[in-house]
Amino acid sequence: MTFLPETRCTEASQAAFAVLPEPRVRLTAQRSTRRLQLNPKYGSGPREVEVSYLWCGAAGAPTVIVQGGISADRDVTALDGDAAPGWWQALVGSGAAVDLERWRVLAIDWLTPDRLGAGSVSSEDQADALAALLGALGIAQVHAFIGSSYGAMVALAFAARHPRSVERLLLLAGAHRPHPLSTAQRSVQRGIVRLGQASGRADEALALARQLAITTYRGSAEFGRRFAGGPEWREERFHFPVEDYLAHQGRRFVERFDADRFLALSESIDLHDVQPERIPTPTTLIGFPSDRLVPLADLCELQRRLHGPATLEVVESPYGHDAFLKEPEQLAPLLREALA
């Protein structure tokens, strides 16, 4: 792996691909940071902001933006076989549904208020950061914006604010506004974290908030199948089968996230509000009946109100909102068709 000092551009060597199928074209990866001029929605005026990004795939291929939920980062995929897999590795790679031999994928780390110098961060701020990054990289228009969860919200904000910069949208488990019940659930999570910060137990509170969030991400059928057993007496109390799983999820989240970042991005979801009538971009929506955070009814409303042509694909899954992470075999043909 070689590094170019100015842009930290990396190229996977032949050795790095030893455990991967031989690509038909040469793949490159640029993992870097750019200083961009932005005007934050909740800020006091224009400012320079550092935006960290990954741009990888076949050199010269059309670019596709891929953004995930609030816990996702720029590492959508990894070209180096020795590196940790990206958060969507099963769907983004050489020969995958989002084929890096055909497309060049661009993703950013989500901005937070401390980066923006603002009180809060909006989906519009994230969209503007991506648009400014396209300009800095010399990309006039991306072939598609694929957004999942919060990423779908940012994709809608992007298409509303920069319609000439994107040819098509592919949105999974995300809508033009948050559902009020989902906002209520996130509000409780944020309250837990703030209480933990005030009492000096921020990490414990963040872990507990994540545990509560997991119960909203997954479907009832999955929990019923996996955790239907009886309790076990341990450490002077009864432990229910689901508790160890939730505790593990909370610990893992605290290892890679912090309380302020969680509060900002969770709030950003609930601040999101885009008028679909402003969006002329052809759109493919993908929804999951078991998703309790983004009900199918909201996606039906979004499809009906979008100014441009829109289709809605319904994928059955027991995994609820997390189905966009857990159903690569069902999603792959839909992604390929939408990108074709």
In one-letter notation, the amino acid at residue 135 is G
Any catalytic annotation for residue 321? Answer: yes
Exactly one of 162, 266, 321, 322 is catalytic; which is it? Answer: 321
Exactly one of 291, 298, 317, 322 is catalytic; which is it? Answer: 291
Residue 244 CA to residue 251 CA, distance in Å, equals 11
Residue 3 CA to residue 11 CA, distance in Å, equals 8
Exactly one of 32, 123, 148, 149 is catalytic; which is it? Answer: 149
Residue 182 contacts residue 216 (beta carbons within 8 Å)? yes
Instruction: Calculate the alpha carbon distances from 177 to 215, 292, 340 in Å.
Output: 21, 14, 28
Residue 92 CA to residue 340 CA, distance in Å, equals 15
Any catalytic annotation for residue 80? Answer: no
Three-state DSSP class for residue 48 = strand
Any catalytic annotation for residue 73? Answer: no
Residue 167 CA to residue 158 CA, distance in Å, equals 12
Q: What are phi and psi of 186, to 5 degrees?
A: -70, -35
Rg for the chain (alpha carbons), in Å? 20
Which residues are tagged catalytic? 149, 291, 321
